[in-house]
Amino acid sequence: MRRTWLPLVAVLTIGAAIPAYAAPQSAPVGPAEAVLALPDQSPEGAPDALAGVLDPLLDDPSLGGSVGAIVLDVATGAVIYQREAAMPRSLASNQKVFTSLAILDALGPEGRIETTVAWDSPTSTLTLVGAGDPTLASVSASGSSLADLADQVAGQVTGEVSLRYDTSLFDGPALAPGWAPDYPALGIAAPVSPLVVDRSRIGGDEARQPDPARAAADAFASLLADRGVTVGDIAEGASTGQVIATTTSEPLATMVETMLTESDNDMSEILGHLAGAEQSGVGSFDSGAAATLATLQSLGIPSSGSEFVDGSGLSYEDVASPLTLASAVSLTSGAAAPAWTWPVVLGLPVAGLTGTLADRFVDPDTRPAAGFVRAKTGTLIGVSTLAGTVVDADGRLLAFAFMSDATTDVDSSRAALDRAAAALAACGCRG
């Protein structure tokens, strides 16, 4: 077994802030056609009153005139505002909301990932087996580490050995459709592999390893050498022999919260592949996308017209409607939320305080909403999205999704969506 379940003892916060990423230089023009039927609006939602507040804000020129939006009352499910809400648009990093649901559905918040080392005595071969742990560290840590594996191996193996590394859990291309080949060098995302160490960083820089699995194997060989185990040849290959060392990650809940708060592209891609592997046996962009869509459908989230090609939202080909996105947020925030979905709500950045919203909601017109809005951000060139929850002036918990795919300026479009979310917080629009 490459993965196992262990009791959840504590949920910790891990990982450093991930810098804003670049994006391809062109975006699709305009939204797709509407494919979903919206539920009836509730008269008690006073949609006209809320429209009077939001429409002028979403007409901001920086949003380019192509905006989809929806606001739901979480307690009742009523649509209290909508604007082209059934039209699929590029998600950018809000794709990570769906990826979170997929991996939590597959393994649960208490699930942990085991990375192992096998030993084949007749051939003096060690095999480091990749199990899809995006948090594997080189040094001893609170979770999984290569150093712990090396300590265990050194207590059982002596002399010179060959080292293999097994990446068979994942298959297919390492870069998704729509990704530029220079993403690893630019520090946007590493090639996706089930075996990575130290988040695929090169020497502490933001640039990613071009071959994360080989880099992990090299690091492991160095750690073994420090402990008196000499490594000869190193090559990729299937695991043989018996497992003699195991290191276990922190809970998936921790990973999901970190992935959402910091918008970690590498973590989301590995977890998306891992969800696909749980469903089909092998992780890939295709199996991850299939697992994600299957999870949304099993939860009853309206998903017609949704198309996914990666787990992070780096590709413009990841599309879903505001209705789909807000419905997912609403489901995880309400009283009827499945018990295993709780890390999604806790992982949403808090306006003005955490993650990708730490430096937003700081202007005079949005500062009053700091601490009250929890939302996932998403940015590509030409695309700006914001989806999350807020409690309005009437005390209602609202779920919202604002999506623009024709933005003219990154900072201005973000500020425009922040103003719309802040207006929700201030609005007493029950009617």
Residues 6+ apart with CB under 8 A from 102: 271, 272, 275, 288, 291, 292, 294, 295, 311
Closest listed residue to residue 333, CA positions, set 323, 319, 321, 345: 345
Residue showing tokens 């997912």: 328
Closest listed residue to residue 153, CA positions, set 133, 177, 178, 128: 128
> Where are any strands of DSSP class E within 103-177?
111-120, 125-129, 160-166
Which residue among the candidates 62, 263, 321, 333 is catalytic per the annotation? 263
Which residue among the candidates 96, 330, 376, 384 is catalytic per the annotation? 96
Active site residue 96: yes
Closest listed residue to residue 424, CA positions, set 405, 406, 401: 401
In degrees and rounded to multiples of 5, residue 254 shows phi and psi of -65, -45
Active site residue 321: no
Which residue among the candidates 62, 93, 249, 413 is catalytic per the annotation? 93
Residue 261 near residue 356 (C-beta atoms within 8 A) = yes
Residue 115 near residue 185 (C-beta atoms within 8 A) = no
Active site residue 93: yes
SS3 for 188-223 is: CCCCCCCECCHHHECCCCCCECCCHHHHHHHHHHHH
| Strand (E) or helix (H) holding 170 | none
Residues 6+ apart with CB under 8 A from 43: none
Residue showing tokens 């901001």: 60
Residue showing tokens 């891992």: 274
Hey, which residues are catalytic here?
Answer: 93, 96, 263
